[in-house]
A and B are shown apart, each in its own frame.
Chain A
Amino acid sequence: MNAKTKLRDFHQAKWDEPIIFELGSRGERGILVPEAGKEIEAEVGDGISKLPENMIRKEAPLLPELSQMQVLRHYLRLSQENLGADLNVDVGQGTCTMKYSPKINEKFAASPKFTELHPLQEDSTIQGILEIMYKLDLFLREISGLDRYTLQPGSGSQAILLMVSIIQAYHESRGESDQRDEIITTIFSHPSNPAAAAVKGYKVITIYPNEDGLPDIEQLKKAVSDRTAALLITNPEDTGVFNSNIEEFTKIVHEAGGLCGYDQANANGILGITRAKEAGFDFSFFNLHKTFSAPHGCGGPASGALGVKEKLAKFLPVPVVEYDQNRYYLNYDVPESVGKVRDFFGGIPVILKAYSWIMSLGSKGLKEVARTAVLNNNYMFKKILQIPGANAPYAHGRHRIEQVRYSWEELTKKTGVTTEDVTCRMVDYGFHMWSSHHPFIVPEPFTIEPTEAYSKNELDEYIAGLKKVSEEAFENPEKIKNAPYNSVIHRIDTSSLDDPDKWAMTWRAYLRKNKKRKAV
């Protein structure tokens, strides 16, 4: 790395690795498996002859045949062609809260005292894991001020589905579910908010922002009626601007008889600073794989812990984890429960890691996480605004909470380089840069969320990268438009991905469509 410019002469690992089906050769074995043994075979025969004839698979599946080291090598190479938060200054995946996933927590999750637990074991044999689930519920109550948590949902989106299910059950219990068929959300909310509402049959009303980037309260007032089942809202939203009027929002919806759900998938800037309870929310969920440090796993496993006010606890999914001062146990006796959103109990490895993370930090630590995330974000905010072509709409002159939605619109107007192009060139410096959810309300958007996990020097590195790409855009836009050059692959041709005659989501489909399928 150049100490002065803080830029790296980066090149990502590039193995030009074949697809696994192109590797190996006939007869190779990656692992040998146990046999039933001669004695069992003497008793029951080969097992297969007893199967109904039409259910016997006569030919083996056409899987590749590799030896063990070759399988290992192949996947390790693929892993090198991937940029996890452990390796890069991952502040460019805004809203995702890419922070440090402590390795000690990985050790716990790999312990056989956890991995070798079956979900149907008797309560007496799983007191340890039940204790962790129970205590995490208590911790999360402290953080949000709400009364009860369920750890069952396997992600933020599934927590939203559960929220909407409970909203439905609540209105049903009051004989108002036919009447209340509308859910209100904002355009900046995660797409799963309106989408999960639609799955459960609700009509979605979307509120757009005012000039401050905040949801327009006048639109809310117009949208609210006796058809309102609920409001699903995030605060701060992806813009990073805190809605100081949020209490007014929840009040308006409550007065109309609706419930208020708080999407706190990302609560990283406000732990111990402001809570769901005082803002008037009936529900709130946390993504344990974001704010609470569990790793993202390329997109799961995950956990969306949903908290509710006491009056809604009777609708929670079963089982709930209880403690009778002597032992922990699973309670299935929840008469008005909505049932289940997931088989068994939740994203347990994620829950274990979140518990441990909170135990490492405590109340003061959690507050420092939030305060530092906000410090880091406003530090970057100041510096990024100095980069030619970069702007941040809304709330001019005001601070942000944990992330900022920026715009390259000026850069695009002046150079033709788009936010997508900048993303492709940032990759050459070893960085991610994410734009925004769709639709793009802010033109040519980019969203940066530093979290508390990166050092000042690392933040400076990322800023230097953005600055460099901006410079390059002004000097030589064509170069940016054909990036990346130092990554794993070059610009992809997306034309086949929307063409049913060309698209191929498996190797077998690819071979078939490219007339390469060999007869066995």
Chain B
Amino acid sequence: MKKEDKYVHPYIPNSAAETREKMLEEIGIKSIDELYSDIPEKLRFRGEMNLPQPLESEYLLKKHVEQILSKNKTCNEYISFLGGGCWQHYVPAVCDVINQRSEFLTAYAGEPYEDHGRFQALFEYASLMGELVEMDVVNVPTFDWAQAASTSIRMAARITDRSEVIVLNRISPNKLSVISNYCKPAIQVKEITYNHETGLIDIDELKEKISSKTAAIYFENPSFFGCIENRGKEVSEIAHKHGAISIVGVDPISLGILNPPSRYGADIVCGELQSLGIHMQYGGGLAGFIATKDEKRFVMEYPSRLFGITETSQKGEYGFGDVAYERTSFAKREKGKEFVGTAAALWGITAGVYLSLLGPKGMQEVGKCILQKTQYAMKKLSQIKQVKIPAYDTSHFKDFTVDFRSTGKTIKEINKGLLERNIMGGKSMAEDFFNLEEVALYSVTEVHSKEDIDNLADALNDILGN
């Protein structure tokens, strides 16, 4: 036995020498090297990859990784007011139990027979979201809200055969970057300004800029700065008058108390599932949904998989399968709609579990709680001498901006002071918006107590020398 045959690893059953010998014999070769005979010598890597010494015992691996993770300071240990596209909501224990089940966690792309569970769980997620947004078609999730918005825009462009989209109101710069890259070069993305006093859409400017080239208008409700838009109906009507499609992006945790966009003329609704039972995971828990009416002209434009319920050869049994599969890139490659692949299915299942747990009352209650706490936080912070709350009279949900420009201190200094007091302050918007130096984005959810908000106000007063 060669020296190398003594290598064994728990993840590699056939590394055990005896088995290896047997298999080589059954294949009729002397060494594994023979199996690589098609790789010419000049392409054979004969060096050693410069990787760290492996931690082969699970004990040492655990110590190593935990030691690295211990360098992180989390939103459990600090009171965090960070938001803006990823939020700290309560994750029910049942959500974690279900998405950690081996059967869901390690499954992939089996048939609707042996993977019936996955099909039903995703059909139910789509159905639950369908009730939330009051629309009959919801996709198997895509990567995140940014991708959902990007695809919604491209769907609209294909449906109208036009190549311009107007983005209204304040959307996140990250999202705009994703949309711009995804739309390039086929679609021109036009941004228009919003009313800085109200934080809402500037309808006059929209009327000016919209034309027969416009495929769609896109806005978010609430906006990136948390402002609740109340003229959505008028905006959708303007879009429709010009033959354009109305796309609205939402955070579904608001839809227990806020009207879904279908009620104010939206044709396509998209948004983020992360607030529905998914841990923040440093931004790794995102998933995007797209919803439309059940009309062929919309359905046929989805790039994603769409799971339909159907019958089987046994009466009374539910089965599931792919709807209109031929439109996808799986079926038609470059002739399919955009592309589809692995994205965020497990988070879709998790969102379904969350909505099942909360139910109609839970969604109303969590929405109300967040609304009240947002209003309370805005009120408390507005009482701080040098601090202003932009668009104070506009209703906000969860996120809101705080203007520190009259304090004489930078957000960097203020947040440093907050961190020392065990608080993670809102992020400065200066890097993203050149005209918003020393304006920060704060976020309040159902997890923040009155004490947390009062402590924030006290800490800020302290730091500002009040």
Q: Do B72 and A114 have beta carbons less than 8 Å apart?
A: yes
Known contacts: A33-B366, A57-B255. The answer to whether A116 contacts B74 by CB under 8 A is yes
Interchain CA distance A310-B400 in the complex, whole Å: 41
Interchain CA distance A395-B32 in the complex, whole Å: 18
In the complex, chain B residues 236-293 whose Cβ is within 8 Å of any chain A Cβ: 255-260, 264, 279-287
Report the minimum CB–CB distance from A510 to chain B (whole Å): 5
Residue of B at shortest CB range from A65?
B359
The 8 Å CB contact of B424, one of A39, A60, A122, A345, is A122
When distances are taken between beta carbons in the complex, the residues of chain A under 8 Å from B284 are 301, 344-351
Q: In this assembly, does A335 line the interface, its C-beta being within 8 Å of a C-beta of chain B?
A: no
Q: Do B339 and A157 have beta carbons less than 8 Å apart?
A: yes
When distances are taken between beta carbons in the complex, the residues of chain B under 8 Å from A363 are 48-51, 54
Q: In this assembly, does B105 line the interface, its C-beta being within 8 Å of a C-beta of chain A?
A: yes
Q: Do B330 and A438 have beta carbons less than 8 Å apart?
A: yes
Q: Do B51 and A295 have beta carbons less than 8 Å apart?
A: no
Interchain CA distance A225-B186 in the complex, whole Å: 23
When distances are taken between beta carbons in the complex, the residues of chain B under 8 Å from A266 are none
Report the minimum CB–CB distance from A428 to chain B (whole Å): 9
Residue of A at shortest CB range from B349?
A298
Residue of A at shortest CB range from B292?
A505
Q: In this assembly, does A471 line the interface, its C-beta being within 8 Å of a C-beta of chain B?
A: no
When distances are taken between beta carbons in the complex, the residues of chain B under 8 Å from A492 are 112-113, 310-313, 319-321
When distances are taken between beta carbons in the complex, the residues of chain B under 8 Å from A118 are 75, 80, 82, 86, 88, 280, 282-283, 424
Q: Do B282 and A191 have beta carbons less than 8 Å apart?
A: no
Q: Do A57 and B75 have beta carbons less than 8 Å apart?
A: no
Q: In this assembly, does B406 line the interface, its C-beta being within 8 Å of a C-beta of chain A?
A: no
One digit per residue, 1 when the CB lies within 8 angstroms of any chain B CB and 0 when it does not, for chain A 374-398 equals 1110110011000000000001001
Interchain CA distance A145-B74 in the complex, whole Å: 35
Residue of A at shortest CB range from B54?
A362
One digit per residue, 1 when the CB lies within 8 angstroms of any chain A CB and 0 when it does not, for chain B 55-85 equals 1101001101110111111111010101011
One digit per residue, 1 when the CB lies within 8 angstroms of any chain B CB and 0 when it does not, for chain A 288-326 equals 010001011111111000000000000000000000000
Interchain CA distance A31-B304 in the complex, whole Å: 32
Q: Do A368 and B12 have beta carbons less than 8 Å apart?
A: yes
Residue of B at shortest CB range from A482?
B313
Q: Do A76 and B36 have beta carbons less than 8 Å apart?
A: no
In the complex, chain A residues 26-71 whose Cβ is within 8 Å of any chain B Cβ: 28-37, 39-41, 43-48, 50-52, 54-57, 60-66, 68, 71
Q: In this assembly, does A158 line the interface, its C-beta being within 8 Å of a C-beta of chain B?
A: yes
Q: Do A376 and B130 have beta carbons less than 8 Å apart?
A: no
Q: Do A493 and B138 have beta carbons less than 8 Å apart?
A: no
Q: In this assembly, does B336 line the interface, its C-beta being within 8 Å of a C-beta of chain A?
A: yes
When distances are taken between beta carbons in the complex, the residues of chain B under 8 Å from A441 are none
Q: Do A297 and B346 have beta carbons less than 8 Å apart?
A: yes
Among A55, A115, A363, max chain B CB count under 10 A is at A55
Q: Do B39 and A273 have beta carbons less than 8 Å apart?
A: yes
Q: In this assembly, does A256 line the interface, its C-beta being within 8 Å of a C-beta of chain B?
A: no
Report the minimum CB–CB distance from B338 to chain A (whole Å): 5
Interchain CA distance A246-B43 in the complex, whole Å: 9
Known contacts: A300-B347, A490-B317. The answer to whether A399 contacts B372 by CB under 8 A is no
Interchain CA distance A215-B153 in the complex, whole Å: 36
Known contacts: A142-B49, A298-B122, A505-B136. The answer to whether A158 contacts B44 by CB under 8 A is no
Known contacts: A20-B356, A84-B102, A506-B126. The answer to whether A78 contacts B334 by CB under 8 A is no
Interchain CA distance A365-B334 in the complex, whole Å: 38
When distances are taken between beta carbons in the complex, the residues of chain B under 8 Å from A7 are none
Interchain CA distance A20-B356 in the complex, whole Å: 8
Q: Do B365 and A423 have beta carbons less than 8 Å apart?
A: no
Residue of A at shortest CB range from B395?
A51
Residue of B at shortest CB range from A88?
B114
When distances are taken between beta carbons in the complex, the residues of chain A under 8 Å from B319 are 489-490, 492-493
Residue of B at shortest CB range from A92?
B110
Q: In this assembly, does A197 line the interface, its C-beta being within 8 Å of a C-beta of chain B?
A: yes
Residue of A at shortest CB range from B295?
A500
Query: Which stretch from B23-31, B207-215, B456-464 is at the chain A interface?
Result: B23-31
Count the B residues whose beta carbon is within 8 Å of the partner chain — how many? 215
Interchain CA distance A86-B1 in the complex, whole Å: 32
Q: In this assembly, does A194 line the interface, its C-beta being within 8 Å of a C-beta of chain B?
A: yes
Q: Do B344 and A154 have beta carbons less than 8 Å apart?
A: yes
Q: In this assembly, does A494 line the interface, its C-beta being within 8 Å of a C-beta of chain B?
A: yes
Q: In this assembly, does B175 line the interface, its C-beta being within 8 Å of a C-beta of chain A?
A: yes
Q: In this assembly, does B121 line the interface, its C-beta being within 8 Å of a C-beta of chain A?
A: yes
In the complex, chain B residues 366-398 whose Cβ is within 8 Å of any chain A Cβ: 366, 368-369, 371-376, 379, 395
One digit per residue, 1 when the CB lies within 8 angstroms of any chain A CB and 0 when it does not, for chain B 107-131 equals 1111111111110111110111111
When distances are taken between beta carbons in the complex, the residues of chain A under 8 Å from B455 are none
Q: Do A344 and B85 have beta carbons less than 8 Å apart?
A: yes
When distances are taken between beta carbons in the complex, the residues of chain B under 8 Å from A131 are 68, 71
Interchain CA distance A370-B344 in the complex, whole Å: 28
Interchain CA distance A131-B185 in the complex, whole Å: 36
Q: In this assembly, does A252 line the interface, its C-beta being within 8 Å of a C-beta of chain B?
A: no
Q: Do B73 and A125 have beta carbons less than 8 Å apart?
A: yes
Interchain CA distance A44-B99 in the complex, whole Å: 38
Residue of A at shortest CB range from B264?
A54
Query: Which stretch from A99-107, A216-224, A408-416, A472-480 is at the chain B interface?
Result: A99-107
Q: Do A273 and B359 have beta carbons less than 8 Å apart?
A: no
Q: Do B9 and A338 have beta carbons less than 8 Å apart?
A: no
Q: Do A57 and B259 have beta carbons less than 8 Å apart?
A: yes
Q: In this assembly, does B407 line the interface, its C-beta being within 8 Å of a C-beta of chain A?
A: no
Q: Do B103 and A494 have beta carbons less than 8 Å apart?
A: no
Residue of B at shortest CB range from A438?
B331
The 8 Å CB contact of A19, one of B127, B296, B322, is B127
Report the minimum CB–CB distance from B365 to chain A (whole Å): 5
Q: Do A75 and B333 have beta carbons less than 8 Å apart?
A: no
Q: Do A296 and B342 have beta carbons less than 8 Å apart?
A: yes
Q: Do B127 and A274 have beta carbons less than 8 Å apart?
A: no
When distances are taken between beta carbons in the complex, the residues of chain B under 8 Å from A100 are 11
Question: Which 7 residue pairs are nearest across A and B when measured between Cβ atoms?
Answer: A362-B54, A344-B283, A348-B284, A119-B283, A82-B117, A84-B106, A299-B345
Could you jot down 29 A-B contacts, CB within 8 Å? A21-B124, A29-B361, A31-B94, A33-B90, A54-B230, A63-B358, A66-B356, A72-B97, A83-B103, A86-B103, A99-B11, A106-B100, A113-B74, A122-B419, A191-B333, A192-B341, A296-B107, A340-B146, A343-B175, A359-B61, A362-B54, A363-B48, A365-B9, A456-B13, A492-B112, A498-B323, A505-B126, A505-B309, A507-B130
Query: 4 other contacts beyond A44-B375, A118-B80, A508-B127, with CB at 8 A cut-off?
Result: A83-B103, A301-B344, A359-B52, A364-B54
